Amino acid sequence: MATPDSAEVVVIGSGICGALAARKLALRGVPVLILEAGPRIDRGRIVAAFRNSPRKGDWMSPYPYSPWAMQPQYKPKDNGYLIQAGPYPYPAEYIRVVGGTTWHWAAQAWRLVPNDVRIKSLYGVGVDWPMTYEELDPWYQEAEEILGVAGADNTGSPRKHPFPLPPVADPWSMIRFRERLAPVYPVVANTVARNSRSYDGRPACVGNNSCQPICPVNAQYLGINAVEAAEAAGVKVRADAVVYRIEADAKGRIAAVHYYDPDKTSHRVTARQFILAANGIESPKLLLMSTSSKYPNGIANSSGMVGRHLMDHPSSSLTFYADEELWLGRGPQSPSSINTMRDGAFRSQHAAYRLDFTNISQVLSVTEALIAEGVYGPEFEKQLRWRAARQCNVKNVLEVLPNPDNRITLSSEKDALGIPKPVAHYSIDDYTRRGAERSKQDFAKIAELMGGTGLRYSPDGQFANNQHITGTLRMGDDPAKFVTDGFGRAHDHENLYMCGTGVMPTAATMNSTLTAVALALRTADHMVPAKSSGADNGGAT
């Protein structure tokens, strides 16, 4: 083997969390090696592949598919990778490539609201976090400065220091929503890792309206930016290295990880410390696979909690025609929200939610609808323009409570390398469904204020998934109930840390990436405390 087989720290997974934790360690002088299961990809080719894609609505379609690093895909047909055990389907999507799944994300970079970390104490539901919101604030700030987060102060998440960037300019459609809903709802600009001006050498947004599946111009912070920054700091990244086993020594320390290359040649890499950052499904899968006589339930799993408490954000929605021309599709995709239902005493009764307005161009969905309806002749163009100008959509982003039965387990089915496929056990409980029911009032009011016609509610009991895979490695103080401690360290192994959305004890109502990044930076700091202050804080690389 020509490549070195040891490092001070090995990070499994090159997504935004693993890469930024790696970068932080490297900036503190630690040699770090990242092992990534998937290949390196190139932005321009993804853009070109999207334009050639026969499925423009399927944001996975432009991404390459590697037989050795399978990822869940559902179109044109389910590739059978993420096996559904039910009772409710959990069609999670993620990308196994260098840079990870934030290659396509909406860049919504929300903080929690302070009460999110105390819902057990305050509302008697879920579980409290092993830290306060105030403890998270500096890590949020650091994450926001790295990512270049643009936002306003009226979102319900207090902060000690200002956002690095001012809020992104509203699309016209959102200006109208804000004006017309003002009597009832404050419509706030989303906090987003999208450049409202040139930042850190990346350009300002130019409104390509394809934040998902790909920002073509690098105006939105992606995991690949984190990888490049990590590499600039000295981190080595090995692509196409599919870790399939974590090996513990007799004392319970992690000694090595084993990976396959695409030819299924096995390699062993040793290190003093390890970070598992392979996402909320692949990370628990890897822990569960790593069984031995000493660890029959897998690594870090003496509690039996690995893979449990799977959470995400289900959404129901309302689509309607406003009574004026809004022309969604001008500017970025995810501009605005209503945050009034993210917290309140009602959380003891039903799920909190954020209301999210899309600015995704409606042309594709309107065209598909017209073709399905059989509208032909001059009427087609007339209808296309009328509907594309007026169609709009609001969805809820619902909190899901941690439930041990919602979990990731291993299948007896194997992937191409002989590695077990993950199984998703998922359900949506009445607490969440009550939240969805409550949000219909808001949907109706919003449509009314916008002069809405042609109201189309998503079918009752049907929820879209938001790919915010949370909770499977949850952090907490009690080793019997939690996988990691409050710093992401495995309760069972002193030199194994976990980064990513999996460590979050609850899902709250915000897109999970920013919180996961803040926690990852905090974990890295805990692993190798700074010698002097500020050397690697502040973000612009």
Partner 1 sequence: MNAPACKSLVAGLAVLLLGLQTCAAAAANSAGAAEIQRGQYVATASDCVACHTGPGAKPYAGGLATMTPIGPVVSTNITPSKTDGIGNYTEQQFSRAVRKGIRADGSHLYPVMPYTEYSQLTDADVQALYAYFMHGVQPVASKPPATRLPFPFNLRILMAGWNLLFLNRHPFQPDPAQSAEWNRGAYLVEGPAHCGTCHTPRNLLMASKSSDALAGGVVGTWFAPNITPDANSGIGNWSQQDIVDYLRSGRAPGKAQAAGPMAEAIDYSLRHLTPADLRAMAVYLKTVPARHDAADTRPVDAWGSAYADLASLRGKPLPKHADDMTGPQLYDAYCASCHQDQGQGSFDGGLPPLFHNTATGRFNTDNLVMVILDGVRWHTDGSGTRMPGFSGELTDRQIATLGTYVTQHFGNPAAKVTLTQVATARAGGAPSNLILLARILLAIVLVIIAAIIVWVVLAVVRRRRRAADAPAGR
Partner 2 sequence: MKSVNTARGKVEPVDGCATPASRPDGPIDPARRKLLAGLVTAYTASLVPWALAVPVTDAGHGAFVALSAILAGKRVLNSVLGQRLHAALVDIEPGFDADCQALLKQIEAQQIDPAKLQGALDAAHSSLAPLPRKLMRAWCLGLVGDGEATRCVAYENALDAVMVADVLKPPTYAYGPYGSWSNPPAAKGGDEHGNA
Known catalytic residues are 468
Which CB sits closer to partner 1, 227 or 269? 227
- The Cα 118–Cα 101 span in angstroms is 29
Q: Measure the CA–CA gap between 399 and 206, rounded to whole angstroms.
A: 32
Number of residues that bind partner 2 (CB under 8 A): 56
Residue 91 CB, shortest distance to partner 2, in Å, is 18
Phi, psi of 406 (to 5 degrees): -85, 110
Among 127, 388, 499, 518, binds partner 2 (CB under 8 A): 388
Q: Give 3-state DSSP helix, strand, coil % of the chain, rounded to 5.
A: 25, 20, 55
* Cβ burial, residue 402 (10 Å; 0-12/13-18/19+): buried
With both helix axes pointing from N to C terminus, report the angle between 378-390 and 363-373 in degrees, rounded to the nearest 10: 140
CB of 54 to partner 1, least distance (A): 9
Contact between 2 and partner 2 per CB under 8 A: no
Of partner 2, partner 1, none, which one does residue 427 interact with (CB within 5 to 8 Å by kind)?
none
Find the shortest distance in angstroms from Cβ 198 to partner 1: 2
Interface pick for partner 2 out of 218, 380, 416, 541 (rule CB under 8 A): 380
Given the rule CB under 8 A, which of 176-184, 211-219, 385-393, 434-442 is the region that contacts partner 1? 211-219
- The structure tokens listed for 482 are 């939690």
Q: Which segments of 347-390 are extended strands (E)?
A: 353-357
Of 475, 482, 512, 511, the closest CA to residue 129 belongs to 475
Burial of residue 51, with CB atoms counted within 10 A of its CB: 0-12 exposed, 13-18 middle, 19 or more buried: exposed
Tell me which of partner 1, partner 2, none is bound by residue 56, counting a contact when its beta carbon lies within the kind-specific cut-off of 5 to 8 angstroms: partner 2
388 binds, among partner 2, partner 1, none (CB under 5 to 8 A by kind): partner 2
- Give the pairing type, strands 407-414 and 420-426: antiparallel
Helical residues (DSSP H) of 29-82, grouped into ranges: 43-51
Q: Smaller CB distance to partner 1: residue 232 or 480?
A: 232
How many C-beta atoms surround the C-beta of residue 418 within 10 A? Answer: 9
Tell me, residue by residue from 28 to 67, as one string, x for binding to partner 1 by CB under 8 A and - for no binding. --------------xxxx-xxx-xx---------------
**The one segment of 70-78, 102-110, 196-204, 320-328 that binds partner 1 by CB under 8 A:** 196-204
Residue 228 or 356 having the CB closest to partner 1:
228
* Cα–Cα distance list, 483 to 191, 246, 252, 304, 474 (Å): 30, 16, 15, 8, 6
Question: Site size for partner 1, by CB under 8 A?
Answer: 25
Distance CA 278, CA 471 (A): 13
The alpha carbon torsion through 532, 538, 540, 541 (nearest 10 deg) reads 30
* Cα atoms in the 13 Å half-sphere on the side-chain side of 375: 16
Out of 152, 182, 184, 206, point to the residue binding partner 1 (CB under 8 A).
206
* Amino acid of residue 493: H
Compute and round to an integer the Cα radius of gyration of the chain: 22
- Cβ distance to partner 1 smaller for residue 45 or 445: 45
Q: Which of 2, 67, 77, 265 binds partner 2 (CB under 8 A)?
A: 77
172 binds, among partner 1, partner 2, none (CB under 5 to 8 A by kind): partner 2
The entry of partner 1, partner 2, none that residue 379 binds, CB within 5 to 8 Å by partner kind? partner 2
Query: Shortest gap between Cβ of 166 and partner 1 (angstroms)?
Result: 11
- Taking CB under 8 A as the criterion, the residue among 372, 412, 459, 533 binding partner 2 is 372
Binding mask 225-254 for partner 1 (x = CB under 8 A): ---x--------------------------
- Choosing from 65, 74, 200, 209, the residue that interacts with partner 2 (CB under 8 A) is 209
Rounded CA gap, 8 and 32, in Å?
A: 6
Q: Which amino acid is at 32?
A: V
Among positions 122, 169, 175, 204, the unique one binding partner 1 when judged by CB under 8 A: 204
Draw the binding track, 44-73, toward partner 2 (x: CB under 8 A; -: no contact). Answer: ---x--xxxxxxx-----------------
Q: Which of 202, 245, 347, 425 touches partner 1 by CB under 8 A?
A: 202
Q: Rounded CA gap, 145 and 139, in Å?
A: 10
71 makes contact, choosing from partner 1, partner 2, none, with CB < 5 to 8 Å by partner type, with: none
- Which residues contact partner 2 (rule: CB under 8 A)? 47, 50-56, 76-77, 169-172, 175, 196-197, 204-210, 214, 216-217, 325-327, 329-331, 360-361, 363-364, 367-368, 370-382, 384-385, 388-389
